[in-house]
Structure 1
Amino acid sequence: MSASLVDIRNVSHRFGQQAVLKNVSLTIEPGSYTILLGPSGSGKTTLLSILGGFVTPSEGKVFIRGEDCTSVPPAKRPTTTVFQDYALFPHMSVGSNVGFGLRMQGVDAATRTAKAREALALVGLAAAFDKKPHQLSGGQRQRVALARALVIEPAVLLLDEPLGALDLKLRRQMQDELKAIQKRVGTAFVHVTHDQEEAMALADHCVVMNDGRIEDEGAPELVYARPATRFSATFMGESTILTGTVTEAKDGSVTIATPAGAISLPGSAAAGAKVALAVRPEHLVLGEAEGHVSLGAAKVSDVVFQGSFKRVLATSTLDPALQFIAKAPASATVRPGDTVAVSCKAADIILLAN
């Protein structure tokens, strides 16, 4: 197994009396695309800033390529950062912008020009070398910022919400391009976002953060299918959450008393323990489903057509506090005011660590 490229060990950070990171440890592998995902205030941007050298942590260490970089300034560590506002120099040509980092390193003009042209070709902007930033679209300026960061061949490229200023169509296009570029250059990318869709589109390593801690991490498919905590289940996609109490636990299965009735499923928990269960919207079945776990009946409050499916919100008739979020086929005839049976498979119910 290859050594970790980045090793963040027990990092905590405070701004005054406010703790923004709380004993965070994280490893990043060579060639990976890591997404730091979380709401505002979760600590993801502070963690990126510590990795980039813009902030020195109050406690803990940051190792890059096995070297302690905790107190190394940004210009002297093997990282570069792409910011949301791109920070291009308006008076410089695109080529000069891309070559600026090389210029600061003392690279000669001919080599700078050649490398800048190569980097612009990599991001599909070979023809923009002599243009000024104001002559480019938002998506093109974003790619120039990416080329400028990649041209100095960093060990780790840091991206701070780089797609946040783009419209939806362009953002999706740039997601595809970012992933393709990362695969071509093989550099490890660490990308901050609060957008779940962006995380699932780009990451091979997803890190879900909340209140200064890492709640969950792993491949996005795993984090989505088997979230570790209640927060992860509701932030990385939507979930219906049922709370309950374990009434029986034996032979690798548990029975849980919930507002929707008793539910038995594989898992381990102590009898009497308070637990939470999650069900993803695509796993809820509206209408009779023989052989599935019954979750009672629910009154439909809202139906939103979303192209390939209908997003259905419904309130349990057994407990008004229990709200179901379901994906129904686009052809489904369900309407607000309908009362429907709700069920799912036991294998699709997630027992959360909470």
Structure 2
Amino acid sequence: MTPLVAIANISHSFGAGPVLSGVSLSLARGSYTVLLGPSGSGKTTLLSILGGFLAPDEGSVLINGVDCTRLAPARRPTATVFQDYALFPHLTAGANVGFGLRMKGVARTERDGRARTMLEVVGLAAAFHKKPHQLSGGQRQRVALARALLVEPAVLLLDEPLGALDLKLRRQMQDELKAIQRRVGTAFVHVTHDQEEAMALADHLVVMNNGQIEDQGPPERVYHRPQTRFTATFMGESTVLSGHTIRDGIDTPIGWFPAPPGTAALAIRPEHVALGGSIPARITDVVFQGSFKRVSADVAGVSILARLPAETMVSPGDMVKLAIDTRHMIPLRA
């Protein structure tokens, strides 16, 4: 099937410093793609190139088979929701949502009717006559989303849209964003540096680092079977055990473990470390995180992270025995 978006060999620099280097990416119709990475990884630059706010130094952007690489934002089938929402403070929510249609010359009666319908889609039917200052942060975010969706873009771009919200509202909006995307069927491309947000929203997760794509695929695969060491350490937490290969395994400071040929290190997620095994360890740190305890333990000079049940009674200095579920160890190549 022909992809909705085909990004091919995109490179871009600011001054002498390359920001993107030969990035290629395909996006399917109806997908929710999240670009995830640390500051400076190139994710926002890639989104800006997709939206037409930047022209790449090299490469091309095709949307629905049309070369949009040099088209201005207003001439390509995309719409963007920015982190600050960019709502007009003097206009009502209804007028903000209908602004794009107003610029296209659509009559007021029609655009008001369509704006009301779109506000209903995002759960704000009663906010039509309210000004932005009368709305909460989450409501303003949904007004911006409704405005972008009303012009029926092929691709909706979201530039860290939840970054300004508090934790509780951010999680609520994650659920609402996903529900809205499923309802309207538009392809979403969402930029964030928040791994939890990325995994909650994406059906296509793209991990970026130093201007390149490190890994991409369904969030569960990327988390449980990352393709690179960077992805293994950036996606959630993990302990990386380096060693050298012996027969069909790898010898590490805390023991020998089975591993496929070519393995240079093994990553262990903290949820796969438990008490009650045979590995002697000394607890070095305990952090209560509500639903679990984040525990650091020293094993033969290696700091192992464990996620233990909240009721576990351990303190720094305690000597314990750890168990590692080797079935979930992540093999990493050099």
Give TM class, smaller chain: over 0.9
| Other structure's SS at 2:49 match | helix
The CA deviation at 1:259 is 1.3
Residues 4-19 of structure 1: pairs in structure 2 closer than 5 A: 4-19=3-18
What stretches of structure 1 of length at least 5 have no aligned partner? 249-253, 290-295
The residue that corresponds to 2:104 in the other structure is 105
Name the stretch that deviates more: 113-122 or 99-108. Answer: 99-108
Cα distance per residue 1:224-249 (max 9 Å; x no partner): 1111111111111100111111122x
**Residue 228 (structure 1) aligned with residue 222 (structure 2):** no
Percent of aligned pairs with the same residue?
Answer: 66
User: Which of 333, 336, 351 is equivalent to 2:316?
Assistant: 336
**Residue 246 (structure 1) aligned with residue 245 (structure 2):** yes
The CA deviation at 1:298 is 2.2
What stretches of structure 2 of length at least 5 have no aligned partner? none
Residues 184-223 of structure 1: pairs in structure 2 closer than 5 A: 184-223=183-222
The residue that corresponds to 2:170 in the other structure is 171
**Residue 308 (structure 1) aligned with residue 301 (structure 2):** no
CA distance in 2, matches of 1:220, 1:145: 27
| Other structure's SS at 1:19 match | strand
The CA deviation at 1:106 is 1.9
The residue that corresponds to 2:252 in the other structure is 258
Number of residue pairs the alignment of both structures matches? 334
Cα distance per residue 1:66-93 (max 9 Å; x no partner): 1111111100000000000000011111
Residues 64-213 of structure 1: pairs in structure 2 closer than 5 A: 64-213=63-212
CA distance in 2, matches of 1:175, 1:150: 17
The one-letter code of the counterpart of 2:222 is: V
User: Which of 271, 280, 290 is equivalent to 2:269?
Assistant: 280
The residue that corresponds to 1:268 in the other structure is 261
CA distance in 2, matches of 1:52, 1:165: 21
The CA deviation at 1:346 is 2.4
Q: Is the 8 A contact 2:10 2:20 kept in 1?
A: yes
Cα distance per residue 1:168-226 (max 9 Å; x no partner): 11111101100000000000000000001101111111111111111111111111111
CA distance in 2, matches of 1:97, 1:226: 44
**Residue 345 (structure 1) aligned with residue 325 (structure 2):** yes
Name the stretch that deviates more: 192-201 or 329-338. Answer: 329-338
CA distance in 2, matches of 1:78, 1:310: 47
Cα distance per residue 1:2-35 (max 9 Å; x no partner): 3211111111110111000111111110001010
The CA deviation at 1:339 is 2.0
The CA deviation at 1:347 is 1.6
TM-score (norm 2): 0.97
The one-letter code of the counterpart of 2:267 is: A
**Residue 325 (structure 1) aligned with residue 305 (structure 2):** yes
> Which runs of 4 or more aligned residues in structure 1 lie more than 3 Å from their structure 2 counterparts after TM superposition?
none
CA distance in 1, matches of 2:71, 2:169: 36
Aligned-residue CA RMSD in angstroms? 1.2
The residue that corresponds to 2:58 in the other structure is 59
| Other structure's SS at 2:11 match | strand
Cα distance per residue 1:280-311 (max 9 Å; x no partner): 1111122325xxxxxx4221111122222211
